[in-house]
């Protein structure tokens, strides 16, 4: 029997019905992610990377192909695949604590009330948000909301953590702070992570592998670059590392030479 990877995406094609006939977003995607691996998916806007993440999350059904997570077929959404959404998706009528609590109640129903409460606070502490437990999302900055979004996801103890351009809406400084949070969490929890980004530095700094996608429609995986930098990583030291430069070079060349931004290409 073939030994499958922890997350195995096998020949996944996604087509959406449109008035002009089916639109092929993803074409025959094969991707393997090992347990504890941090994989960044990068590509131009509209290349279908969010679709791929949604397929793994179970929010979108593939037209063809099959996905396995730790040997189980993925057939729909579930709390074992926690998602950090780009727009954080916190429920505005719940406090920070209640938002995380909702996720914990669903995933740790066998624990006592006190244990669940402590677990919520523990996870808020991990993202340095315990001080705002009683606040509502509307009272928080974008970066703080996304910290809570991350806390909610990791509090579910997912088998894989899916991050959909988690810092896309944040300014550069806030983004750097959040990237550091993610690196710290990764060092202590060693989650399996699939993250979507269109920030080359973010991909290279955070990921063990950068998977580059070709432009849509019918997007495929173009290149798969392993980032051989030791952990823990430091954003300042990384700047002087040959591996960092090499990975950056590979990704930038892929995105801006081999697969240029389709809209820019059309305008030229």
Residues contributing to the site for another protein (CB under 8 A): 57-59, 76-79, 81-83, 85, 87, 89, 91-94, 102-103, 106-107, 138, 156
Q: From CA 9, how far away is CA 67, in angstroms rounded?
A: 5
Q: Which is nearer to another protein, 89 or 174 (CB)?
A: 89
Taking the least distance from each CB to another protein, the nearer of 41 and 82 is: 82
Q: DSSP strand E in 1-150: where?
A: 7-18, 21-33, 38-42, 64-69, 72-73, 81-84
Mutual angle of helices 113-126 and 96-107, in 10-degree steps: 120
Residues 6+ away with beta carbon under 8 Å from 1: none
Integer Cα distance of 47 and 37 in angstroms: 23
Q: What's the length of the chain?
A: 268
CB of 140 to another protein, least distance (A): 12
Closest approach, Cβ 79 to another protein, in A, equals: 5
Q: How far is the CB of 19 from another protein (least distance, A)?
A: 19
Nearer to another protein, 11 or 139 (CB): 139
Task: Give Cβ neighbours of residue 172 (< 8 Å, ≥ 6 apart).
Answer: none
Nearer to another protein, 161 or 227 (CB): 161
Instruction: Compute the least distance from the CB of residue 146 to another protein, in Å.
Output: 13
- Return the number of the residue (71 or 76) whose C-beta is nearest another protein: 76
Q: How far is the CB of 163 from another protein (least distance, A)?
A: 13
């Amino acid at each position: 029997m073939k030994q499958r990877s922890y997350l195995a995406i096998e020949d996944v094609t996604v087509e959406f019905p449109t008035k002009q006939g089916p639109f092929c977003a993803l074409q025959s995607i094969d991707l393997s992610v090992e347990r504890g691996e941090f994989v960044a998916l990068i590509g131009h806007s509209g290349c279908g990377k969010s679709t791929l993440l949604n397929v793994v999350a179970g929010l979108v059904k593939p037209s063809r192909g099959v996905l396995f997570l730790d040997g189980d077929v993925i057939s729909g959404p579930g709390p074992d695949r926690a998602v950090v959404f780009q727009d954080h998706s916190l429920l505005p009528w719940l406090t920070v604590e209640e938002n995380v609590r909702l996720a914990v109640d669903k995933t740790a129903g066998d624990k006592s009330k006190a244990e669940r409460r402590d677990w919520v606070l523990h996870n808020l502490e991990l993202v340095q948000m315990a001080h705002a437990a009683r606040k509502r999302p509307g009272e928080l900055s974008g970066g703080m909301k996304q910290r809570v979004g991350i806390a909610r996801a990791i509090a579910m103890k997912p088998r894989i953590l899916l991050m959909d351009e988690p810092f896309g809406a944040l300014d550069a400084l806030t983004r750097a702070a959040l990237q550091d949070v993610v690196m710290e969490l990764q060092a202590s929890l060693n989650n399996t992570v699939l993250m979507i980004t269109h920030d080359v530095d973010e991909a290279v700094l955070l990921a063990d592998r950068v998977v580059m996608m070709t432009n849509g429609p019918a997007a495929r995986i173009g290149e798969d670059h392993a980032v051989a930098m030791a952990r823990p990583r430091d954003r300042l030291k990384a700047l002087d590392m040959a591996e960092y430069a090499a990975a950056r070079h590979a990704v930038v060349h892929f995105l801006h030479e081999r697969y240029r931004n389709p809209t820019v290409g059309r305008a030229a």
